[in-house]
Every structure is written in C-alpha cells, then in structure tokens.
Amino acid sequence: MRTEKLSYDLPPELIAQEPLKVRSDSWLLVLNRSSGAILDSRFSSLGDFLSSGDCLVLNDTKVVPARFFARRPTGAKLEGLFLSEDAGVWTVYLRGTRRLKPGDLLFLRDKHRTDFCEALLLEKADEGRCRLELKTDADAQTVLDTIGFPPLPPYIKRDDDPALAAIDKSRYQTVYALHAGAVAAPTAGLHFTQPLIEQLKQAGIRFAFITLHVGAGTFKPITVENIEDHRIHREQFSIDEENAGIINTARNKGGRIIPVGTTSTRVLETLASKSEIQDLKFKIPAVGGSGTTELFITPGYQFKMTDALITNFHLPKSSLLALVAAFAGLEKVLAAYHHAIEQRYRFYSYGDAMLIV
C-alpha cells in the first residue's frame, strides 16, 4: 500500500496545544466500522456505547520527564530526549548537533536554567542520536527528576517554562499511570478520570491493564513509498496473570475486548499470536507474558483480539493511522477524519478521541 494513501490535510489550528480543563470533556467521535455511520458525542458519555461485560484494556505505563535542556560552553542551547541509561552513559536524541563532535563537553541544565552537571559526548549517530557520559553519581531517575520536563511531541510548542511544565507533568499522564518507563504518553487514555472509571465499573465494564513503555519511535513518520517497507520501532510490554485472566474471562462470557489506544492493541495482538484458538476464539496466554513487540499492523491485517477500539486522531503517514485504517477501513477512517475537521475537533496528543465499534 502506498504511504501517500495515509495522507490528509489538517488546519494547523486544530492541533491541540493544551489539555482541556476537564479530561473527559473532550469530544468523542463514534465510528461504526460496518456501516460507516458517524456520531458526535462526549468522552464522558463513553458508557452509552459500552455494554456490561465489555472489557477495556488500558496501558498503565508512566511517562518519565525525559525532555531536558543543555548548553555548550559557548552558551548555545541544546534540547534533548532521554532514551535509556547504562552504567552512567545516557542514550539520547539531541537537537542541534550539527557542530558537535565526540569529545565535546556539555552542561545539563536544571529547571531553573542553571547548570546541573557536565556531560561528555561519546558518540554521535544519525538523526541526532547520541551517547553522553554524565559527570554525576546520581542515577538517571534522580537526574531526570531534577532537570527533566514532560516529553511532549514536537507539534506541541513548549519551551523550558517551569509553570507550563507543571501543568504538562500532570496532564500528559493518565490517571492510572503506574510503571515508569515511557517517553511518550498512551494518549487515548488521557481522557479518563477516576469518576468516569468508577462509573463504568458500576455499569459492569471490566478493566484490565497491560504495560507497554511507549518509545520515541511512536512519532516517527513513514517515509518510504510503500508502508510495507517501513520498519516499526520495538517496545517492551508486560501483562500479569491476573489481568490476562480478566481479559480471557470477558471473552469467554461474550464481552467485547476494547483496547484503549494503539499500544494496548499491539500488545493484545502480539499476545494472541502466541496463543491458540479456544472455543473458536483467540485468547491470550493465561499466565500473561512479557517481551518486546515490533508488530506493524497495516490494512489487510486480521485482528484476533480487538472487538472495538478507543483511540485519538493520528498524524498523516504514521504507523498509528495505518493501524486504525486496518481496523476500520481506510476510506471510513478518512471520512471520519474529514468529518472531525469540519466539526473542529482537536487533534493529536491533547486532542479529542474516537471510539470505533
């Protein structure tokens, strides 16, 4: 399939720059993937479209404050994104590395714009990927708690303003986030509030949790001519026995399995591929499981565990849009997107949501 087919035109003013005051006040576009019918609603009314026994599968990864700022000895400002740490050496993305070379010294800056520690550039690779040796005894989590900002995607315009960072620290995080490790939020879950979760539980909706640590590759566009030639990023996931049991029990009793977001979808589909059909239905391994996934879901994929899907509106030519198109059909998805644009929905991470049934 040609990547160009995943394209659409979005007015820049529809890219949400800030979260709504109340998470569940966001719009919810409900798309029927059989008929193509579209309904406009609110996320707070999600329960109107669910049935007792349905199971929502949520990603409880927690976003780490991975965005940071640094300076060169000349004073030139750099922006970075923490990816991983090994024995005091950080792997990061750095913007503005054109004049940097291995052996250069940098200064990592704290939230008050003062120098926190020195860092030696050990290696510079493609796309700004670098390895830094930090001159501090503090572990990565301690350093990031001191210097780090929420790792918002580049289409949300932020500088190093601590006041805005405090808002983003709370709102670029789901209310059920538990296991730290993501450098991007599973944004379909940002619309849930604790009162809404309790309301849905009272209505008989089951909740199951998986963990997938969202990586920076989630923002990488498909740049090849045909999507089949694109290599998707690899991400770590896990699910325990208890939550696997919740999902399989719901499926045994005829409830729909509804992943919240593309990350939960990829985990479910990865796990289902490792299991056998039981009672004419796929189940996930009863003991749960963990590992990595680089499952790239594109149109033509046969879904094994996903009966409906909650998701946000995604960037053109992205692997996330390819997954949604695979689930609901490209023409129907693009028609829904055009409707959302006409109705002035808010797009991307801080934007509105879709429910595909």
Neighbours of 301 (CB within 10 A): 15
Query: Taking 70 as the threshold, does the pLDDT of residue 279 lie above it?
Result: no
- Residue 128: pLDDT band with limits 50, 70, 90: confident
Query: Taking 90 as the threshold, does the pLDDT of residue 220 lie above it?
Result: no
Query: Taking 80 as the threshold, does the pLDDT of residue 48 lie above it?
Result: yes
pTM metric for this prediction: 0.93
Contact 275/247 with Cβ under 8 angstroms? no
Q: What is the mean pLDDT of residues 341-356?
A: 98
In which element (H, E) is residue 249 found?
Answer: helix 241-252
Q: What is the mean pLDDT of the chain?
A: 94
Highest mean pLDDT pick, 21-35, 150-164, 225-239: 21-35
64-113: per-residue pLDDT in tens?
Answer: 999 999 999 998 999 999 999 998 899 999 987 888 999 999 999 998 88
At 160 the pLDDT is 84
Q: What is the mean pLDDT of residues 24-50?
A: 98
Which domains, ranges and CATH numbers included, belong to the chain? 3-63+173-356 (3.40.1780.10), 67-148 (2.40.10.240)
Residue with tokens 């692997």: 319
Query: Taking 70 as the threshold, does the pLDDT of residue 278 lie above it?
Result: no
At 96 the pLDDT is 79
In which element (H, E) is residue 163 found?
Answer: helix 162-171
Dihedral sign, Cα of residue 267, residue 336, residue 28, residue 203: negative
Whole-angstrom Cα distance, residue 46 to residue 25? 11
Neighbours of 220 (CB within 10 A): 15
- Residue 280: pLDDT band with limits 50, 70, 90: low
At 163 the pLDDT is 87
